[in-house]
Amino acid sequence: MTDKFKELEVKLSKYKWYLKEAKLIELSIRHPYQLNDGNVGGGKSSGGDTDGALRTLIKIDENDDLNEYVMIGQTIERTFAVLPEHLQEAMMEFYINRKGHYRGHPKRCAAKLNVDVKTLYRWRCEIIVEFDRQSSKDARVRPSSP
């Protein structure tokens, strides 16, 4: 196995993690923890936020980690969408549904899919090739940084 194969497999297996982290980053930007400003009189506090929504949207748009996680998640979803049904099932079992005793174990996943381990390996290679193809499309479309 090549390093690129392993790297792409790790990305595929972290799909749910990418979704969770992207949501956490977005929520932390939208609802930051704010300290009490000391205004106990009940009147209007000083330094009011008149353009908070726009600033929040800009922060979300400019967050590199958030953009990367969302991009990887979308690439995984597009990969899943273009695969034939048997590869979709293999992708779900081996990479996405990683709970329980079938978690990423080739022999157990192959048994659950009712195929040979070698067949599962070939399917994994096909999934990785398609994921790499979808990732390459993203790299061509993504604007370069200044």
Question: 70 pLDDT exceeds 60?
Answer: yes
Q: Give the chain's mean pLDDT.
A: 82
The structure's pTM equals 0.76
Question: 75 pLDDT exceeds 80?
Answer: yes
Q: At what angle do helices 52-62 and 15-30 cross, to 10 degrees?
A: 150
Q: Which residue has the higher pLDDT, 129 or 60?
A: 129
pLDDT of res. 104: 72
Q: At what angle do helices 3-13 and 15-30 cross, to 10 degrees?
A: 60
* Contact present, 8 and 131 (Cβ < 8 Å): yes
